[in-house]
Structure 1
Amino acid sequence: MTVTRPDVVPPQPWAFPEPRRHRLSNGMDVLIYPLPGQYVTSTRIALPSLLAGEPQDREGVASIVSRTMDEGTASHTAEELAELFERNGIGLGAGVTEQGMVVELEATTGRFGQALELATECLREPAFDEAEVGRHVRQRLSEIEHERASAASRAAIEWARTFYTPQSRASRPTAGSLETVGAITSADCAAYHAAHVRPDGGAVIVAGDVDEAAVVADLERTIGAWRSENPSAATDLDPRDERDPGSGRIVFVDRPGSVQTEMYVGTLGPDRRVDGGWAPYPALSFALGGSPGARVDALLREDKGYTYGMRTTFRPRRRDGVFVAAGSVRGDVTAESYDLLLGVLEGAADGFTDDETRSAIDYIGKTAPARYATADVVADEAVRLRLDGLGTDFVTGYLQEVQALTPERLGEAWRATLGSWTTVLVGDASEHADAVRALGRGEVTVVD
């Protein structure tokens, strides 16, 4: 019997789900993404309270507030709230970014209304019990010690401190330092919450198999009833983080006896509103360091065997962004690996091949439907873009633009990115710093 194989045809164009838009009586925007079959509803509440609003001697207070809002309220103790969440299968979490606070809520469709009631209670009337705040402060201090012990985390922290001016909030950890977190009290949390955690300018994003009218009604009776008690107390600023003029150098964080060296190399990059469009930058990330076959790993991992893997990425921010290449290499080849890495990045200015371009286009375009297949991922992308002042039509737009990319466009975008490198190496400086100096790639400073 002869079997005729079906023709393989290109996939149809894909678009990010379109939201249904509403506005609550307290002014908060509502974006509803109906996703049939997604019976666990993912809700994100975006509150644009910028990190610049934190007192500098209490940096990290926004993170502590986000972690303790569900640790007791005026209506329920921490234990009672925990029981209510567990009994109803509701998950609540919160965190902060440079652009605001995000409350994450997961619940089955049938428990959606109850989940909103609990989330609204935590937002409106957190108790900030002294014992609970103290516990989370201690946990954060422990995290900081772990971050200092992790070579990758230590490299990222030192890189930000080197890259940005000391006045820039981005130069310091989002969740605070040992000195600032250790000083945070319950009163500090209450004061920050009163001034900055408010519905003004906020949005609620709901993704799942939901009834639109019922969702709006539930939102209106819960979070829509939340009002700012003292909006005039807000002191949110939006200063521009600036690159330090002296950041084009190499900082070697000394770890005596380390058998590996963590590399963190980067420069200034674009934001999502860059002239010419965002499409080339995810493609560049993939072509340079987005897979084992990309240029960095093809040389340092597959050819040389110096690393388990290094990755490159563009990280857009509200204004500007950064390009970063990061990963660990064998300690005994630190200088050679660093030189080879910069050679790959700088050599890319000569251009990209048709095969590299097509591979990046196919990966970004053809995997998009799977990447955005679940309610939580849809909600996460929507809230991330909302805090950046964009809608999810941005995703559809740049995915369409990706299909038209050419090697020439990739080369043009990469050459526009190339600038002086800020480098942090975490490893045994006594063994390898002199070899790095000998490369002549820039001033090398050793720190403990």
Structure 2
Amino acid sequence: MRRSFRPAIAAGFLVASLAASAQPVADVIDIPYTRFTLPNGLTVVVNEDHKAPVVAVSVWYHVGSADEPTGKTGFAHLFEHLMFSGSEHRKGTYFEPFERVGATDMNGTTWFDRTNYFQTVPTTALDMALWMESDRMGHLLGAIGQEELDTQRGVVQNEKRQGENRPYGRVYENILLNAFPANHPYQHSTIGSMEDLEAASLDDVKQWFRDYYGATNTTLVLAGDITPDVAREKALKFFGDIPAGPPVPRQQAWAAPRTTSTRGTQQDHVAQTRIYRTWNMPTLSDADAPLLELAGSVLGGGKTSRLYQRLVYQDKLVDDVSAGAQAFNLAGLFMLTADVKNGVEPAKVEAVIAEEWAKFLAEGPTADELERAKTGITSGFVRGLEKVGGFGGKATILAEGQVYRGDPAAYKTDLARIEAATLASVKAAANRWLAKGDYTLTVVPAKPDADLAAEDKAVKGLPAAEGKPAPVAPAKAEYRTVASDLDRTQGLPKVTAFPDLSFPKVQRGKLKNGIEVVLAERHTIPVTQIQLQFDAGYAADQGRKLGTASFTAAMLDEGTQTLDSIEVAKRKERLGARIGGGAGLDSSSIGLNALNGQLKPSLELFADVVRNPAFREADVDRIRAQWLAGIAQEKTQPNSLAMRSLPPLLYGAGHAYGIPFTGSGTEEAIRSLTPADLAAFHRDFYRPDNARIIVAGDTSLEAIIPELDRVFGDWQAPSGAIPKKNIATVKAQAKPRVFLIDRKDSPQSLIMAGLLAPSTRAPEYLEVQTANGAFGGTFTSRLNMNLREDKRWAYGASSMIQDAIGQRPLMMYASVQTDKTAESAAEVLKEVRQIAGDKPLTQAEIDKIKEQRVRALPGAYEATSAVLTALVGNQLYGRPDDYVATLKQKLEGLDDAKVQATAKALYRADALTWVIVGDLSKIEQPVRDLKLGEVKVIDADGKVLR
């Protein structure tokens, strides 16, 4: 379960299509809802949306880390984990029955002011989901014992280690200590301290449940294929007999603005210095919050922003800079970050920031800046409304408004405030909050003898301050439970039927020049998504400079023959369009996500970017500097370090896939890249005879073909042939190998073990996917249940198989606590040997994965982007147009014996290649003692050191 940040504004609205409307934006954009309160005080919010046979179930408890007393930091988040450990009427992990019914978008998160739990389930599984949520809400205490507490304590402590093991992963805790006074609810981080987590007792966590998990402190949101009447009936049935719980005094807003500037320095295992600067700001319900979000967009919201223009383009002092507002329930933070170029004095960067800051405070934004900021902040709202659940769907928007502001439609207030913002009002808000009292934290690369843990403990933070408002008790009210005829001793409601997937029919057409167009209509929101797919990708780097494919894709929207980089960015912002290129192993692509009201000009800009990239030397040099800084950062991150190192070891030097799977290439190659190299790659691969156009969204073949013909129909191929890629077949390793990479002071080790699997195009593709799902591809898989739930050595353990036209990489990975590195590797090896040996996959395990995959189909393709991704995969891997529509039949028809045989052939312990990243002074000898295979120590570039 993860913690999450709250966007300052709930994602925006569709400006372009509303331009002709005389109505206020907040009146046009609407999420219909019904709200009612059960007799026990539980608030229920219902959004009826029958576009897909799924319902999002979102349960929000109005309690978070801000409610934790001194000495009990991390309790809210620890308890969130305990809620997944089983309840009185159903023991075992919470995820298992949801996997069986095909739940999607399932998780739980904790933040300052709330703890929420959510899942999207097939409509027919709604009773099961409500039974599960209500059982842990009303019947948990008897299921929590010392074993459950110890297990989840260990998991959370490893989550904390995993976060701190990332570069800059200790920053937020430092900032909170210095942004808020000691008596402010936000001064400590949600994850808490190791000491407080270790001290948590069974009585402590049970009291937490009694204090905060009553019905009156809870909001249930149901969004999707349900009516308000049905929702009322089911809510009363499953939740009506749960007690109201004690009244919870509400903490009051306290921005605690500072009047003096303060500073701090932090060492970390990072590749470059980063400057953080924060100001306290008001709550999300304050009228100034959206104005500060607009100010953040103008100052540091992207490449057209003032700071980016000055520091990146003009003075070339930083590789990246951003600024933005984070508004919470009791206060907020306005944060600036700048990645200082190596060799540049941070003081020089700070001086320029101060200069631009003063200019903005004195003059405010320009009219053009403000309009682009409004569009940029708000143009995603309609896009976000397509999903009913998850981290940012309609259920989240409604729940957030209800829990924090007592109004599910609070987003309308934010939209109205954005629309009404003026040059003067944005300037005034900035001067109220951003003119004084900042905290500057400079994070620098750690010295060899640095003691980071001791440094963190030495940070005392701000002392307590006056002015903290007293909590306010809720108004007295009478609540009562309603007896239910539900017999929980009978167990979970049976789910015997499941809705069928409704996948749009795939249609095909051609442009005048022969480019094939593949379309799936999805008329849910007025947006059209288009992707041009080219047969290229990382594999096309073979014989070229590594990173060329990705670098070329990144450069496409950095300027055309007639538009410079900034003008391209400004036009995207004004249109509310999203245009961007990228590369994978086997293909390069560039996509357009366009508002239908601005489709014509968006397509014109898109075609110009695709067909006429300029690759100007100044732009190449700017992106090159950022790219090199990115590679240096990759070499400080355990995950990306392993992803750079393992593929060359699996495939061998010279293989098209034997390259860093980050796609970023090597420093040597990127330094030598020229505009001519990029132009040659574009000429060779970005051509109409190597392209498909894939479309999904609110359009039709009759409507979109003429528009595409208008901008692409006259595009002619060059005379040369398309280069051929050589993706050779690689033999399995004759014996296992181990490669160690030293990362001093790491609180965790990253274990990654790799094998080669058959191509995505192979006939046994579904058998491979099913076997991997049971081994490490789901929460209840063997690998995760072993290292996380049983041993408590990791926050999570997984295995993944990346799609590829050639042999696919199968990668098993886990970040584990340092003192359990060797033991964890031994467990991974044991699991590999067992699945291929004396403990083959059982019929129950295979059935579980088949059922999960089949029943998740309706939820998996709820969003247009998922439909587009499916079409893209079909084209790349040679699948028929009805592949998704017939997937249920294919999965249900899998032969268990063939899945078992595939697993035995796939998981070969004798062919494993291990990459382990950690503090070698602590882990090297224990790993060598395991005798996993020949052990070598390599550096971040894969060079053997010993």
Which bin holds the TM-score, normalised by the shorter protein?
over 0.9
Say if 1:351 and 1:410, in contact at 8 Å, map to a contact too: no
Q: Indicate the larger mover: 152-161 or 166-175.
A: 166-175
Give the Cα separation in 2 of the matches to 1:343 and 1:15. 41
- Residue 725 (structure 2) aligns with: 237
Give the Cα separation in 1 of the matches to 2:573 and 2:792. 48
Give the Cα separation in 2 of the matches to 1:340 and 1:40. 48
Give the Cα separation in 1 of the matches to 2:636 and 2:844. 41
Q: Is 2:671 the partner of 1:176?
A: no
Deviation at 1:427, TM superposition (A): 0.8
- Residue 88 (structure 1) aligns with: 575
Deviation at 1:42, TM superposition (A): 1.2
Taking the TM superposition and a 5 Å limit, the aligned residue runs for 1:16-415 are 16-54=503-541, 56=543, 58-173=545-660, 174-228=663-717, 230-232=718-720, 234-240=722-728, 242=730, 245=733, 248-275=736-763, 277-349=764-836, 350-405=839-894, 407-415=896-904
Say if 2:631 and 2:664, in contact at 8 Å, map to a contact too: no
The count of aligned residue pairs is 446
Deviation at 1:263, TM superposition (A): 0.8
Deviation at 1:51, TM superposition (A): 3.9
Gaps of 5+ in 1: none
TM-score normalised by L of structure 2: 0.45
Give the Cα separation in 1 of the matches to 2:811 and 2:643. 10
Change (3 A) 1:130 1:251: same
String of CA shifts for 1:58-108, please: whole Å, max 9, x gaps: 222222221122222122222222222111111000011222211111012
String of CA shifts for 1:343-381, please: whole Å, max 9, x gaps: 112211232233322221221111122111111121122
Which of 893, 904, 924 in structure 2 is aligned with 1:433?
924
Deviation at 1:406, TM superposition (A): 5.1
Give the Cα separation in 1 of the matches to 2:652 and 2:551. 25
Give the Cα separation in 2 of the matches to 1:339 and 1:438. 11
- Residue 440 (structure 2) aligns with: none
String of CA shifts for 1:196-215, please: whole Å, max 9, x gaps: 22111311111012132110
Deviation at 1:244, TM superposition (A): 7.3
SS at 1:221's partner residue? helix
Which of 498, 504, 522 in structure 2 is aligned with 1:11?
498
Q: Indicate the larger mover: 427-436 or 179-188.
A: 427-436
Say if 1:70 and 1:126, in contact at 8 Å, map to a contact too: yes
String of CA shifts for 1:185-224, please: whole Å, max 9, x gaps: 2222222222222111311111012132110110111122
String of CA shifts for 1:39-58, please: whole Å, max 9, x gaps: 22111110113544447452
Q: Is 2:934 the partner of 1:443?
A: yes
Deviation at 1:111, TM superposition (A): 2.2
What amino acid is aligned across from residue 715 of structure 2 in structure 1?
W
Q: Indicate the larger mover: 340-349 or 376-385.
A: 376-385
SS at 2:713's partner residue? helix
Give the Cα separation in 1 of the matches to 2:879 and 2:813. 28
Say if 2:527 and 2:697, in contact at 8 Å, map to a contact too: yes
Deviation at 1:139, TM superposition (A): 1.1
Change (3 A) 1:197 1:358: same
Deviation at 1:177, TM superposition (A): 0.7
TM-score normalised by L of structure 1: 0.93
Say if 2:541 and 2:656, in contact at 8 Å, map to a contact too: no
Give the Cα separation in 2 of the matches to 1:78 and 1:436. 50
Q: Indicate the larger mover: 75-84 or 26-35.
A: 75-84
Q: Indicate the larger mover: 42-51 or 235-244.
A: 235-244
Give the Cα separation in 2 of the matches to 1:61 and 1:297. 37
Deviation at 1:444, TM superposition (A): 1.0
Change (3 A) 1:416 1:244: closer
After superposition, the CA RMSD in angstroms is 2.4
Change (3 A) 1:238 1:223: farther
With a CA cutoff of 8 Å and minimum separation of 6, indicate the structure with the bigger relative contact order: 1
Give the Cα separation in 2 of the matches to 1:288 and 1:49. 32
Q: Indicate the larger mover: 169-178 or 305-314.
A: 169-178
What percentage of aligned pairs have identical amino acids? 28
Give the Cα separation in 2 of the matches to 1:312 and 1:44. 29
Give the Cα separation in 2 of the matches to 1:391 and 1:87. 38
Say if 1:270 and 1:316, in contact at 8 Å, map to a contact too: no
Say if 2:537 and 2:549, in contact at 8 Å, map to a contact too: no
Give the Cα separation in 2 of the matches to 1:389 and 1:78. 36
Change (3 A) 1:418 1:294: closer
- Residue 230 (structure 2) aligns with: none
Change (3 A) 1:110 1:212: farther
Change (3 A) 1:73 1:130: same
SS at 1:395's partner residue? coil
Give the Cα separation in 1 of the matches to 2:673 and 2:731. 29
Q: Is 2:907 the partner of 1:418?
A: yes
SS at 1:393's partner residue? coil
Give the Cα separation in 2 of the matches to 1:336 and 1:54. 39
Name which one, 1 or 2, has greater alpha-carbon Rg. Answer: 2
Q: Structure 1 stretches (4+) deviating beyond 6 angstroms? A: 1-7
Give the Cα separation in 1 of the matches to 2:726 and 2:641. 27
SS at 1:171's partner residue? coil
SS at 1:438's partner residue? helix
Deviation at 1:8, TM superposition (A): 4.8
Give the Cα separation in 2 of the matches to 1:331 and 1:356. 31
Change (3 A) 1:391 1:175: farther
Give the Cα separation in 1 of the matches to 2:760 and 2:684. 30
Change (3 A) 1:101 1:260: same
Change (3 A) 1:438 1:365: same
Give the Cα separation in 1 of the matches to 2:687 and 2:665. 22
SS at 2:523's partner residue? coil
